Amino acid sequence: EAQVTQNPRYLITVTGKKLTVTCSQNMNHEYMSWYRQDPGLGLRQIYYSMNVEVTDKGDVPEGYKVSRKEKRNFPLILESPSPNQTSLYFCASSPQVANTGELFFGEGSRLTVL
Amino acid sequence: GEDVEQSLFLSVREGDSSVINCTYTDSSSTYLYWYKQEPGAGLQLLTYIFSNMDMKQDQRLTVLLNKKDKHLSLRIADTQTGDSAIYFCAESYGNNRLAFGKGNQVVVIP
């Protein structure tokens, strides 16, 4: 089944404890992206990647890192999480690099930072 | 990023039509999109319209695009309980960016 898989789906952590949210897609998509969803703010892009070893900042990259060593994986790293990073995170991928509106989303990872 | 505006909440009776509106800022957007988010799930692409079109119909969904006013709407005919969700409009900008609206929650009353 074609899908985008995120782990963990739910996580409660404490300020400063490094964590990684994994994202994997099995559709051979070149484009991958991370978003956070917050009440009243909609979806905001954190980072995106056009291809392996190519990553770019989105609208809210502060406090996050990403890597794209393989085509299928695009982990989101929070080196020192803070409470303002409590959010619902979505990974997405797209088959087209030139028109990346056709996004396939994972089911989301709800992160709480205490 | 670009600014995409949506109203936040709509309730509609089952069987009626629902209309969700959105305004966007980038007149050079090639595509405009509607996504649906059901409770506890990720977003799913519902439909999209190319910027040189005024209307697109897909079964119960009708998308209208007014380029002059930068206004996009989604009409759902014969709204059903399964249509209860948050609907996001989105515009493409650059070649690889997508700006989402804040979402419009639709509640269908049986």
pLDDT digits (tens, 9 = 90+) for A55-110: 999 999 999 999 999 999 999 999 999 999 999 999 999 987 666 578 999 999 99
**C-beta of residue B46 within 8 angstroms of C-beta of residue B60:** no
Q: Which of these ranges, A3-12, A19-28, A62-71, B3-12, has the smallest mean pLDDT?
A: B3-12
CB A92 within 8 A of CB A104: yes
> Which stretches does DSSP call E strand in A42-99?
42-51, 54-57, 65-66, 76-78, 87-94
Mutate to test the interface with A, among B5, B98, B104, B105 (most CBs of A within 10 A): B98
* Mean per-residue pLDDT, B85-107: 87
A73: left (phi over 0), alpha (psi -120 to 50) or beta: beta
Task: Look at residue B92 in the predicted model and tell me its pLDDT.
Answer: 83
Supply the pLDDT for residue A98.
61
A5 touches chain B (CB under 8 A): no
Higher pLDDT, B93 or B47: B47
Could you tell me if residue B33 is left (phi over 0), alpha (psi between -120 and 50 degrees) or otherwise beta? beta
B34 contact residues in A (CB cutoff 8 A): none
Please tell me chain A's helix, strand, coil percentages from 3-state DSSP, rounded to the nearest 5.
Answer: 5, 50, 45
Question: What is the per-residue pLDDT for B16?
Answer: 96
- Indicate the range of A34-38, B5-9, B39-43 predicted with least confidence: B5-9
Q: Which residues 24-63 in chain A show a CB within 8 A of chain B?
A: 31, 35, 40-45, 48, 50, 58-59
Between B108 and B1, the more confident residue is B108
**Segment B46-82, tens digit of pLDDT:** 999 988 889 999 999 999 999 888 899 999 999 999 9
- For residue A97, the chain B residues in CB contact (below 8 A) are 95-96
Q: Is the pLDDT of residue B40 over 60?
A: yes
Q: Each residue of A17-62: pLDDT tens digit?
A: 999 999 999 999 999 999 999 988 889 999 999 999 999 999 999 9
pLDDT reading at B1 higher than 60:
no
Bridge partners of A6, per DSSP, are: A23
Q: Pairing between strand B5-6 and A19-25?
A: unpaired
Task: Flag if B102 and A107 touch (Cβ within 8 Å).
Answer: no
C-alpha dihedral over B103, B107, B108, B110, to 10 degrees? 170
Pairing of strands B31-37, A4-7: unpaired
**Nearest by Cα to B23 from B8, B35, B5, B7:** B5
Residue A9: pLDDT over 90: yes
pLDDT for B7 beyond 90: no
CB B84 within 8 A of CB A31: no
Distance of alpha carbon B75 from alpha carbon B63, whole angstroms: 6
